[in-house]
Amino acid sequence: MNDQNTQKASRYLHGLETISEKTKKTPIILFFGRHHFSDNSKYLFLNMSARQDVLAIWCSSNTELCTRLADEGLHVLNMNGDVGQILSVFMQAAVAVHCINTFESVENPLMRAALKGAIHIQLWHGVSIKPLDMIKANADNLVDTTWIEQTLGAISIDVILSPSERLDNFWQAAFGVQYVIRAGLPRNEVLLRNATKAERINTADTLLSDAENYILWAPTFTSAGMTPLWSRPELINQLTTTARDNGCQLVIKPHPYDTINFQSRDTDNHEGVIFLSPDIDIYPDLHRFSCLITDCSSLMFDYLHLDRPILILEHSNKGNDTPLAWFDHLPLPAVIGPDANATVLLETCLKDDQQTHNRKKCLQALFSTDTLTSCEMIAKILWDLVEKQTDKKMTILQ
């Protein structure tokens, strides 16, 4: 693209942003999530869809998912559709809700510009134990255009969800926000109650039996150029054998960002193991697992709600390059050790669980409100924001 065309495109995007900011908003809340139906946005969207005073719309470029949700009577917007129509809806939206980086939620720059005038809420995808975004700013990153773009997408928000005062400073340091919603994570409600029919969309219920005892291994994402931890035969064999000896079956669910790795590897040659797609929503079925194995996935903090053993494996053959934890003010509520000792460590979790006190202490510190009313609490705040956006009055100067 030549300089003239670049300038023209830049003016067009700036124009869309300005028009969006000036456009009168209507009671529309747009929800953005992962490519498949999962995570915090999913549960809040389903909760808000039952309301009559706002229009909750799930936005996705996954055409198959859009069709499925529409068949359930839910409002959807296929972002592969007519661009003009999409821009029009985005222009009118009062609030946009995300659970991942906003530039990952909305990849098209035109659509992002049209959404500029909405209030952007970031639910995020769990309590992070990794340093995020602006926390990672350094001399090298500041001259890295990829890092700048990724961080810009992260901080293009107005409000963040924080389940505890103890986490507020972290969110502000990572995302630069001033406004915080104090409530639990929407995806945790189904750990403490039965999932609804709609919440069962894209879950593992047909793959798991109520008659079996399961152990879940859910590592975090694999860093570029590394071998996925969940594809190492020697570690899989250790965990499978130990699980079987204790009357359990091992279930492995890679991180959503490992989808390409998962599709390119043979997972059928491991007997006694159930592999779940990285895209499956595991939350409505977490209560089926008697133990969680992970490394530095935020899933372990959600699993605290079930008060069951957690094993953190430190990798002798690392599949990621992040520290185990960024905070030192809480006990990690788990058995921790090198994966070379996986058998002994898992045996300890299953037969000699002594972490109940640490789990309860950590749960109380990280989740300070009633988990079962998470969506209800957030919904009240969203409605206040919608009213604020749709009721902007003129000021008469005399």
Share of residues in the chain with pLDDT > 70 (%): 94
Q: What tokens does 150 get?
A: 């990724």
Confidence band for 367, pLDDT divided at 50, 70 and 90 = very high
H or E stretch including 97? Answer: strand 93-98
Asked whether the beta carbons of 99 and 30 are under 8 A apart, the reply is no
Q: What is the pTM of this model?
A: 0.93
Please say if the pLDDT value at position 306 is more than 70.
yes
Predicted pLDDT of residue 365: 92
Place of tokens 């942003």: 17
Q: How many residues belong to the chain?
A: 398
Lowest-pLDDT choice from 278-282, 303-307, 391-395: 391-395
| Residue-level pLDDT at 258 | 86
pLDDT category at 232 given cuts 50, 70, 90 is confident
User: pLDDT at residue 117 above 80?
Assistant: yes
pLDDT reported for residue 318? 53
> Considering the chain, what is the average pLDDT of its residues?
91
Residue 1, pLDDT score: 55
List, for residues 349-361, the tens digit of each pLDDT value. 999 999 999 999 9
Q: Is the pLDDT of residue 327 over 60?
A: no
Q: Quick one: pLDDT band at residue 319, thresholds 50, 70, 90?
A: very low
For the segment 74-83, the average pLDDT, to the nearest whole number, is: 97
Inform me whether the pLDDT recorded for 321 exceeds 70.
Answer: no
* Residues 256, 179 contacting (CB under 8 angstroms): no
Q: Note the pLDDT tens digit of each residue in 255-274.
A: 888 888 787 776 666 778 99
Tell me if 120 sits within 8 A of 59, measured CB to CB: no
Residue 317 has pLDDT above 60, yes or no: no
Would the pLDDT of 326 be above 60?
A: no
The whole-number pLDDT of residue 322 equals 46
SS3 270: coil
Find the mean pLDDT for residues 33-53: 96
- Distance spanning both ends of the chain, measured CA to CA: 50
Residue 191: pLDDT band (50, 70, 90) is very high
Selection from 112-116, 137-141, 389-393 with the highest mean pLDDT: 112-116
pLDDT at position 268 is 66
Q: Residue 294: which H helix or E strand, with range?
A: strand 289-294
pLDDT band for position 337 (cuts 50, 70, 90): confident
Whether residue 302 is predicted with pLDDT greater than 90 in this model: the reply is: yes
Buried b (16+ CB within 10 A) or exposed e, 285-317: bbbbbbbbbbbbbbbbbbbbbbebbbbbbebee
